[in-house]
Amino acid sequence: MATIAPHARVFCAADTDSLSSALDLAREIKGAVGGIKLGLEFFGACGPAGVTAVRAEGLPVFLDLKLYDIPNTVAHAVRALTPLGVDFMTLHASGGPAMLQAAVAAATAAATEFNVARPQLLAVTVLTSMDKSDLEAIGVAADPAEQVLRLARMAKAAGVDGVVCSAHEIKALRAELGPDFILMVPGIRPMGADHGDQKRVMTPAEAVAAGADHLVIGRPITQAADRKAAARAIATELGS
Ligand SMILES: O=c1ccn([C@@H]2O[C@H](COP(=O)(O)O)[C@@H](O)[C@H]2O)c(=O)[nH]1
């Protein structure tokens, strides 16, 4: 099995509406991270052409649009997005098994149709900005750990490649879902960093020690005075 350099586990979240800012960031931190995550803000402003331009920088791209709709609509969205050739895409696990299965089938068919690699599909479980009281507010009595495990089991059975979860759930997910199920982990904060709106957080080293495949880190890098130094410090913490 190929070993992955510790820093290559990190996807930096380029939460920006500016293509030039995203490209600057990618060029600045290339070599200190493993990829770039593009989300709704970027896609809304820069669209598929923006994704293609960032991809051309040569870093793996994680397109985090968190699709959530009826199965037919999600399947068509996945078909439309697959030719972009990104490495990872997200959809909400709470869309349920039929939605997830439709997405997997659509990605597989579109990869053949457009002759690109199939994106790895990741199901978002419980947002890392939510705690037990937030779940209660939307009518979920389970605590985050139970709810994440329930959604991840369901998502795996539906055929997705992995989940987005917080670092607090990694050990339970690994124990039950095995070593090959991808765990993409946001809510990562170096020691002493501002948590902002994130509620279920862990440090980069703790999350990797717990068994994360990939870490998503945004503001601790993007809002640093020296973004390259911030990314390098995280790489050093991880052992690169
Ligand atoms: O549960 C989730 C799912 C996705 N995210 C995304 O990750 C980054 C985190 O950014 P930070 O600045 O490091 O907080 C952001 O793009 C979110 O949309 C998440 O945080 N939690």
What pLDDT, in 10s, does the model give residues 182-213? 999 999 999 999 999 999 999 999 999 999 99
User: Which residue's CA lies nearest to atom 11 of ligand 1?
Assistant: 218
β-pairing verdict for 88-92 and 61-67: parallel
Q: Tell me whether residue 50 is in a domain.
A: no
pLDDT in tens, 25-62: 999 999 999 999 999 999 999 999 999 999 999 999 99
pLDDT, the chain, mean: 97
Instruction: Judge whether residue 174 has pLDDT over 90.
Output: yes
The answer to whether 208 touches 199, Cβ cutoff 8 Å, is no
Three-state secondary-structure class, residue 203: coil
Mean pLDDT over 9-14 rounds to 98
Alpha-carbon span 226 to 13, nearest angstrom: 16
Q: Which of 134, 173, 216, 219 has most ligand 1 atoms within 8 Å of its beta carbon, as the pocket-test mutant?
A: 216
Task: Answer whether residue 4 shows pLDDT above 90.
Answer: no
User: Is residue 216 within 8 Å of 185, Cβ to Cβ?
Assistant: yes
User: For position 97, which CATH number holds?
Assistant: 3.20.20.70
Is the minimum distance from the CB of 39 to ligand 1 under 6 angstroms?
Answer: yes
132 part of a folded domain: yes
Q: How many domains is the chain built from?
A: 1
Taking CA 126 as the corner, what is the angle to CA 151 and CA 61, rounded to the nearest 5 degrees? 95
Distance between Cα 38 and ligand 1 center (Å)? 10
Token reading at 80:
């439309």
- CB distance 164 to ligand 1 below 6 Å: yes
Question: ipTM of this complex > 0.85?
Answer: yes
Does residue 172 fall inside a structural domain? Answer: yes
Q: Is residue 20 part of a domain?
A: no
Indicate whether 135 belongs to any domain. Answer: yes
- CB-based contact 173:146 (threshold 8 Å): no
Going by alpha carbons, the residue nearest to atom 19 of ligand 1 is 186
pTM confidence score: 0.97
DSSP string, 66-133: EE-S-HHHHHHHHHHHGGG--SEEEEEGGG-HHHHHHHHHHHHHHHHHHTSPPPEEEEE-S-TT--HH
- How many whole angstroms separate alpha carbon 120 and alpha carbon 115? 15
Note the pLDDT tens digit of each residue in 23-33: 999 999 999 99
Does residue 58 sit within a domain? Answer: no
Give the distance, in angstroms, between the CA of residue 147 and the centroid of all CA atoms in the same chain. 18
Structural domain for 91, as ranges: 69-211+220-239
35 Cβ below 6 A of ligand 1: no
Query: Which pLDDT score is estimated for 22?
Result: 98
Asked whether residue 152 is assigned to any structural domain, the reply reads yes
For residue 134, CA distances in Å to 64, 76, 81, 95, 131 come to: 22, 31, 31, 18, 5
The partner residues of 182 in beta bridges, in order of sequence, read 162
Tell me, using a 6 A CB cutoff, whether residue 128 lines ligand 1.
yes
Check if the beta carbon of residue 116 is closer than 8 Å to that of residue 82.
Answer: yes
Tens-place pLDDT, residues 114-141: 999 999 999 999 999 999 999 999 999 9
- Kindly indicate the confidence band of residue 1, based on its pLDDT and cuts at 50, 70 and 90: very low
